[in-house]
Structure 1
């Protein structure tokens, strides 16, 4: 197998240190050497450029492309899978080589990427969104109609549950369907018009059953959690990550620190809801009002969590906003007090650790898989970063 050397540039290795001059040698899909004056059989000229590890987005919905009610009911059932292929390709072009789908993608989509049928980031999937009746994942409307973002189908079982016994059944059903992680709603949300983000969903008993089932199969739990009490319930139950974390209080932050719980902020998500409303997307008035209400509290919570030392990984909730705009999140993280190096670390090695992939991805280091992003100019110039992505390599193969 040919040795490819990326030479003449600088390297951000994923450890949190600033970029430094170095060459990187790749062979058979792996990084085999990092240093200066290296050679190989083939060369990639990186003069004036910076190499980053392949980026992560730990919260996407690749089968979701529209959040408006009317758009959802007008598309044929199978259209979502073709949209997913487009969305995965757009995400890859951002330098994101690994994603965690937070409900929507089924095992077929993941396998299509793995088998090379469609280009895209490697995937971890949760398949469905575990929600109680009347909760964030219940798409019932006062008309009596249900218009879910992700309708159930054979590869994506219905995941509404009430009570510990139903929780056990649905957890096992989602794991059977191929879930790498179980996603649960422990509070209301913004896009669900009939609930409140500050209100809790599921009892500690229900959450304990979920976490027990996940642990028995070696799987983590991620929690859509926005209100403080629902966040604390999730942390006490042993979830691995809090998604959104809009209304964190001091006790919730201390619990997260004590339990080593991760925060995936998705700061851009409510911003994208407001953009959609301004563009005329047909959203319930309650949804728009909640999005306006949470933006400031969300940023304050993330700022305080970071200052306290809570572990943070990058996620966007893409699907709520357009796929292929994922890197907007980085500037918002920076505005919450994270240094540029902290932001890129959260998008590389920290995300890899959250996903249990930190022994093979998220760093530029010998032995790691050769996911590399070649960036023109300064990688800390976050507003310009999307247009500065020059090349993307996944497992040693140039994919963009």
Structure 2
């Protein structure tokens, strides 16, 4: 059995939130030792470089490309899967070795990655997002046409539901189709024809049914949620709040008490504003929602003791540029080490993967990201990724395998 030593790098310790020089020994895809002067059959020289655990993005949409919803809805149905393969490769090359897909990817994409048919991050999938009639995921538009960014197919069930019993059946359909997590919109959103973020969706009995039925299958619920919709989601036991604008003190206190995670997706707002500036032809009512004053709750959430995990909402900011989120988290009150923790051990804990991912610890998968310079400097970190290893195998080396 070949033993590879990654020698002399400055390792980010996601447990202590520090970075120190050490070697990492890897065998058969797993970390077997961390220390000084380790022996091996092969050596990777990491002197003068930082080494991070494989990064984790808890909110992506791999089958979506770009932020022009009208243009995307006019593409051939199967194109999403080819673009998804490219987006997976871009994400992996950015140092993101694991993702939670928040609607879009189906079981076939996950299995293709697991079998090595296509390069990409390992993934948990939600398939699609539960929405009430007229909610954030309802593809109906006022013109009475349907503009569905996630059209249903045998591997991605339709998800417009009303009432607890419809929800019970739908979650069972999603589980049958391979969902690893249940996604719901408990408030309105920005890039949809319906209500804005401050309007709550679904009632308590409906959200409670989602959590109960998901739990029966051993799954958690992630909620696209803002304001009062987030409060209802937390009150009824969801695992994480995605985006999470307009969270009041009561909601944040409940989140801290119950251990509910916040996945802020700060990159999404940057991407949407850039899309408007570049001339993407959003309908006026969507432009108004994008440009409306909004308040990120990250700084107050940190102060309240809410746990933060990294998520980007790519492609609202492009796939492959996921690490901008780390800089934005720092701008919103996290230390660089805490931002890295949000993208490593915190994210692994949110996804229930902390036993095998999230830190450079013996007994965990050998997902490693080698970066130029100090690993605790998150500024332009995405541009400093030199090599990415997944299960101990090099899956990206800068300037050798560019992803176009």
- Would you call these one fold, judging by a TM-score over 0.5? yes
Are the counterparts in 1 of residues 51 and 370 from structure 2 also a CA contact under 8 Å? Answer: yes
Q: Is the partner of 1:159 in helix, strand or coil?
A: coil
Q: 1:57 and 1:69 mapped to 2: Cα distance?
A: 22
Q: 1:29 and 1:345 mapped to 2: Cα distance?
A: 22
Q: How many residues matched?
A: 396
The answer as to 2:372 corresponding to 1:386 is no
Match of 1:342 in 2: 338
Q: After the TM superposition, which residues 136-147 of structure 1 pair with which residues of structure 2 at under 5 Å, given as runs?
A: 136-147=136-147
Match of 1:53 in 2: 53
Match of 2:183 in 1: 183
How far off is 1:70 after superposition?
A: 3.5
Match of 1:271 in 2: 270
Question: TM-score by structure 1 length?
Answer: 0.97
Unaligned residue ranges in structure 1 (runs of 5+): none
How far off is 1:74 after superposition?
A: 3.1
Are the counterparts in 1 of residues 10 and 375 from structure 2 also a CA contact under 8 Å? Answer: no
CA RMSD of aligned residues (A): 1.0
Are the counterparts in 2 of residues 274 and 288 from structure 1 also a CA contact under 8 Å? Answer: no
Are the counterparts in 2 of residues 90 and 324 from structure 1 also a CA contact under 8 Å? Answer: yes
Tell me the alpha carbon deviations over residues 274-314 of structure 1, each in whole angstroms, 9 at most, x when there is no partner.
1111111121122222222254x02xx11100111100000
Q: 2:93 and 2:386 mapped to 1: Cα distance?
A: 9
Question: TM-score by structure 2 length?
Answer: 0.96
How far off is 1:126 after superposition?
A: 0.3
Match of 1:328 in 2: 324
Tell me the alpha carbon deviations over residues 70-101 of structure 1, each in whole angstroms, 9 at most, x when there is no partner.
41243111100000000000000110000000
Are the counterparts in 2 of residues 16 and 342 from structure 1 also a CA contact under 8 Å? Answer: no
Q: Is the partner of 1:9 in helix, strand or coil?
A: strand
Are the counterparts in 2 of residues 273 and 288 from structure 1 also a CA contact under 8 Å? Answer: no
Match of 1:373 in 2: 369
Q: 2:389 and 2:87 mapped to 1: Cα distance?
A: 18
How far off is 1:249 after superposition?
A: 0.3
Q: Is the partner of 1:109 in helix, strand or coil?
A: helix
Are the counterparts in 2 of residues 352 and 362 from structure 1 also a CA contact under 8 Å? Answer: yes
Query: After TM superposition, which residue ranges in structure 1, 4 or more long, deviate above 3 angstroms?
Result: none
Q: After the TM superposition, which residues 1-400 of structure 1 pair with which residues of structure 2 at under 5 Å, given as runs?
A: 1-227=1-227, 229-295=228-294, 297-298=295-296, 301-400=297-396
Q: 1:357 and 1:11 mapped to 2: Cα distance?
A: 20
Q: Is the partner of 2:301 in helix, strand or coil?
A: helix
Q: Is the partner of 1:50 in helix, strand or coil?
A: strand
Are the counterparts in 2 of residues 16 and 345 from structure 1 also a CA contact under 8 Å? Answer: no
How far off is 1:165 after superposition?
A: 1.2
